[in-house]
Structure 1
Amino acid sequence: MRLYCREFDGPADRTLLVIHGGPDWDHSYLVDPLDQLAGAHRLLFPDLRGCGRSPAEEPLTPDAMVADLAELIGEGPVDVLGFSYGGLIAQRLAIQHPALVRRLIVASSSVLPVPDDAFEGWEEYERRRALYPSVWDAPGLEGVALTRAEAFACAPCEVWRPSSLPRYLEILEKVRFTASYLGVYRAGKFPSARYPDGPERLEATGIPVLLLQGRQDMTFPAFLAERVPFAESVILENAGHMAHVDQRTDWLRAVQKFLE
Structure 2
Amino acid sequence: MNKRSFITMLAAAALAVVTGGSTMAETTKSTAAGAKTGHAEINGVKYYYEIRGEGEPLLLLHGGLGSIDMFGPVLPALSKGRQVIAVDLYGHGRTALTERKMSLVDMGDDMAGLLKTLGYGKIDAMGYSMGAGVAFRLAVQHPDAVRRLVLVSAGFAQDGFYPEMLPMQAQVGAAMAEMMKPTPMYQAYAAVAPKVEDFPKLLDRMGEMMRTPYDWADDVRTLKMPVMLVYGDSDMYRPEHIVKFYQLLGGGLKDAGWMRETMSQNRLAIIPNRTHYDVFFAPELAAMALPFLNGETKVKTWDEQVKAAQ
C-alpha separation between the residues in 1 aligned to 2:75 and 2:204? 32
Shift, 1:9, TM fit = 2.4
Alignment partner of 1:255 is 2:299 = no
What does residue range 163-202 of structure 1 map to in structure 2 within 5 Å?
176=192, 179=199, 180-186=201-207, 189-190=208-209, 196=215, 198-202=216-220
Pick 1 or 2: higher relative contact order, CA cutoff 8 A, min separation 6. 1
- Could you report, residue by residue, the CA deviation over 1:201-233 in whole angstroms, capped at 9, with x for unpaired residues? 23213021110000011x333442222222421
AA at the equivalent of 2:203:
L
Specify whether residues 3 and 147 from structure 1 end up closer, same or farther in structure 2 by C-alpha distance, changes over 3 A only: farther
Seq. identity, %: 22
C-alpha separation between the residues in 2 aligned to 1:184 and 1:204? 29
**1:15 aligned partner:** 57
C-alpha separation between the residues in 1 aligned to 2:267 and 2:70? 25
- Could you report, residue by residue, the CA deviation over 1:3-36 in whole angstroms, capped at 9, with x for unpaired residues? 111110212xx111011111x3211111321322
Shift, 1:251, TM fit = 1.7
Specify whether residues 40 and 234 from structure 1 end up closer, same or farther in structure 2 by C-alpha distance, changes over 3 A only: same
Query: Which of 1 and 2 has greater Rg?
Result: 2
Give TM-score, length-normalised by structure 2: 0.60
Matching residue within 32, 46, 53 for 2:73 = 32
C-alpha separation between the residues in 1 aligned to 2:231 and 2:78? 20
C-alpha separation between the residues in 2 aligned to 1:195 and 1:135? 17
Specify whether residues 38 and 184 from structure 1 end up closer, same or farther in structure 2 by C-alpha distance, changes over 3 A only: closer
Which stretch of structure 1 is more off in the superposition, 50-59 or 207-216? 50-59
**1:113 aligned partner:** 158
**2:132 aligned partner:** 87
Alignment partner of 1:76 is 2:117 = no
**2:107 aligned partner:** 65
Q: Which residues of structure 1 form unaligned runs of 5+?
A: 121-128, 153-170
What does residue range 222-241 of structure 1 map to in structure 2 within 5 Å?
222-227=239-244, 228-229=246-247, 230=249, 231-241=266-276
Shift, 1:174, TM fit = 9.7
Specify whether residues 257 and 113 from structure 1 end up closer, same or farther in structure 2 by C-alpha distance, changes over 3 A only: farther
Specify whether residues 193 and 4 from structure 1 end up closer, same or farther in structure 2 by C-alpha distance, changes over 3 A only: farther
- Could you report, residue by residue, the CA deviation over 1:60-97 in whole angstroms, capped at 9, with x for unpaired residues? 33233222211111152111111011111111111111
Specify whether residues 44 and 175 from structure 1 end up closer, same or farther in structure 2 by C-alpha distance, changes over 3 A only: farther
Secondary structure (helix, strand or coil) at the match of 1:190 reads helix
Specify whether residues 116 and 214 from structure 1 end up closer, same or farther in structure 2 by C-alpha distance, changes over 3 A only: closer
C-alpha separation between the residues in 2 aligned to 1:194 and 1:8? 36
**1:209 aligned partner:** 227
Shift, 1:101, TM fit = 0.9
C-alpha separation between the residues in 1 aligned to 2:129 and 2:74? 16
C-alpha separation between the residues in 1 aligned to 2:211 and 2:121? 26
Backbone CA RMSD of aligned residues:
3.3
AA at the equivalent of 1:52:
G
Shift, 1:258, TM fit = 0.9
C-alpha separation between the residues in 2 aligned to 1:190 and 1:174? 22
4+ aligned runs moved over 4 Å, structure 1? 115-120, 134-138, 171-178, 191-195
Shift, 1:190, TM fit = 2.8
C-alpha separation between the residues in 1 aligned to 2:148 and 2:57? 11
**2:279 aligned partner:** 243
C-alpha separation between the residues in 2 aligned to 1:147 and 1:111? 31
AA at the equivalent of 2:279:
A
C-alpha separation between the residues in 2 aligned to 1:194 and 1:101? 26
C-alpha separation between the residues in 2 aligned to 1:83 and 1:18? 8
C-alpha separation between the residues in 2 aligned to 1:113 and 1:86? 16
- Could you report, residue by residue, the CA deviation over 1:148-203 in whole angstroms, capped at 9, with x for unpaired residues? 63848xxxxxxxxxxxxxxxxxx9699757624212344xx33778753x232232
Shift, 1:37, TM fit = 2.6
Q: Which residues of structure 2 form unaligned runs of 5+?
A: 1-40, 250-265, 295-310
